[in-house]
């Protein structure tokens, strides 16, 4: 596995040499290209100016930022260089916080932090186990690729994992979303609440990542493979279950039909079967 960064994890005066590895791969989706239908050549996108009605070259293009109403500020490459920060070799721990204090919406990406060398192993494991025992997450800051990054470092499967964190100014609040103000005033019937809680209990189980697969990618790959082998894809009619409109009736039926083992098996088998609605029809060859 390729090392993404090497440096030091610093807890005040304790400095631990570490290496960073990506914990999330770029999603291996089925890729495609835009082609000319007749000759199958790839389509090229060009820089077009609608005012001058012509294609412009790279030397004619500048970077502009919107600043206020109907105002654009041109920023040069030299200006960008002045804003860049010098990359550092130290990931400095700023504070230790409770594991539940960082809301999921702040997380972005994940990286493994591994001790760099046998000398680093002992202090690394010491802090890893101390964080586990205290139920704490380390908030750390480091400059990577000329930009400052904030990380939440947690114990995970016997190693430290660093989750990238969004800054507060990147977060979009719920202000202005239609209908939100009314939610707090809605009265919930006690009997309905009991049924909803019973349903949640019946559907509860462990999170097993292997139970979940990208069904769209599987179905699309199935189509590509079938067509490449000379087959024909036919869409089978979708079978929809009976629709229950009334809330109370829907809750009653759901509670009676649900069960943790049934829900668990249903999710597991869903990832293994071909997506409904696709049939492969192999053409006969002479």
Looking at the fold, whether 22 and 150 belong to one and the same domain comes out as yes
Q: Look at residue 255 and tell me if it is in a domain.
A: yes
Phi, psi of 20 (to 5 degrees): -110, 135
- Mean pLDDT value of segment 16-21: 96
Going by pLDDT thresholds of 50, 70 and 90, the confidence category of residue 80 is: confident
Domain that holds residue 9: 5-26+84-169
- Mean pLDDT value of segment 203-225: 75
Looking at the fold, whether 149 and 260 belong to one and the same domain comes out as no
Whole-angstrom CA distances from 173 to 151, 165, 202 are 21, 16, 33
Looking at the fold, whether 190 and 130 belong to one and the same domain comes out as no
Q: Look at residue 48 and tell me if it is in a domain.
A: no
- How do residues 133-162 score in pLDDT, each as one tens digit? 999 999 999 988 878 899 999 999 999 999
Report whether pLDDT(223) > 80. no
Q: Give 61's contacts (C-beta < 8 A, 6+ positions apart).
A: 47
What is the pLDDT, as a whole number, of residue 228?
A: 77
- How do residues 254-276 score in pLDDT, each as one tens digit? 888 876 555 444 444 444 444 44
Sign (positive or negative) of CA dihedral 19, 23, 27, 28 = positive
- How do residues 29-49 score in pLDDT, each as one tens digit? 667 888 888 988 998 888 999
- How do residues 62-78 score in pLDDT, each as one tens digit? 888 888 777 888 888 88
Name the domain boundary from 169, 199, 231.
169
Looking at the fold, whether 147 and 252 belong to one and the same domain comes out as no
Name the domain boundary from 104, 135, 169.
169
Looking at the structure of the chain, the number of domains it has is: 2
What is the pLDDT, as a whole number, of residue 241?
A: 57
What is the pLDDT, as a whole number, of residue 182?
A: 85
Name the domain boundary from 102, 135, 169.
169
Looking at the fold, whether 267 and 190 belong to one and the same domain comes out as yes
Looking at the fold, whether 115 and 206 belong to one and the same domain comes out as no
* Rg of the chain, C-alpha, whole Å: 27
| Dihedral, 219, 220, 225, 229 alpha carbons, nearest 10 | 100
Looking at the fold, whether 227 and 269 belong to one and the same domain comes out as yes
Residue 143: give its domain's CATH number: 2.40.290.10
Cross-strand bridge partners of residue 108: 164
Spatial separation of the C-alpha atoms in residues 162 and 140, rounded to whole Å: 9
Looking at the fold, whether 201 and 253 belong to one and the same domain comes out as yes
| Dihedral, 64, 67, 69, 74 alpha carbons, nearest 10 | -30
To which H or E segment does residue 127 belong? helix 118-134
- Mean pLDDT value of segment 109-124: 95
Looking at the fold, whether 224 and 138 belong to one and the same domain comes out as no
Sign (positive or negative) of CA dihedral 260, 263, 267, 270 = positive
Which has the closest alpha carbon to 153: 131, 126, 121?
Answer: 131
């Amino acid at each position: 596995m390729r090392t993404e960064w090497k440096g030091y994890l610093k807890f005040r005066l304790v400095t631990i040499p570490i290496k960073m590895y990506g914990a999330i791969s770029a999603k291996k989706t089925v890729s495609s290209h835009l082609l000319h239908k007749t000759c199958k050549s790839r389509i090229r996108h060009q820089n077009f100016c609608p005012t001058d009605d012509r294609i412009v070259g790279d030397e004619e293009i500048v970077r502009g930022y919107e600043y206020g109403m109907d105002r654009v500020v041109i920023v040069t490459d030299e200006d960008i260089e002045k804003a860049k920060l010098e990359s550092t070799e130290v990931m400095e721990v700023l504070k230790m916080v409770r594991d539940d204090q960082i809301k999921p919406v702040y997380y972005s990406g994940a990286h493994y932090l591994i001790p760099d060398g046998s000398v680093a192993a002992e202090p690394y494991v010491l802090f890893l186990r101390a964080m586990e025992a205290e139920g704490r997450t380390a908030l750390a800051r480091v400059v990577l690729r000329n930009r400052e990054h904030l990380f939440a470092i947690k114990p995970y499967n016997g190693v430290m994992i660093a989750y990238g964190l969004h800054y507060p100014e990147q977060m979009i609040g719920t202000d202005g979303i239609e209908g939100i103000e009314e939610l707090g005033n809605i009265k919930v019937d006690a009997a309905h609440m009991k049924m909803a809680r019973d349903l949640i209990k019946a559907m509860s189980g462990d999170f097993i990542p292997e139970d979940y697969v990208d069904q769209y990618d599987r179905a699309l790959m199935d189509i590509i493979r079938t067509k490449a082998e000379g087959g024909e894809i036919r869409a089978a009619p979708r079978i929809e279950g009976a629709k229950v409109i009334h809330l109370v009736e829907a809750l009653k039926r759901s509670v009676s039909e649900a069960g943790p083992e049934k829900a668990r098996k249903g999710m597991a088998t869903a990832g293994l079967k071909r997506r409904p609605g696709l049939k492969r029809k192999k053409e006969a060859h002479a």
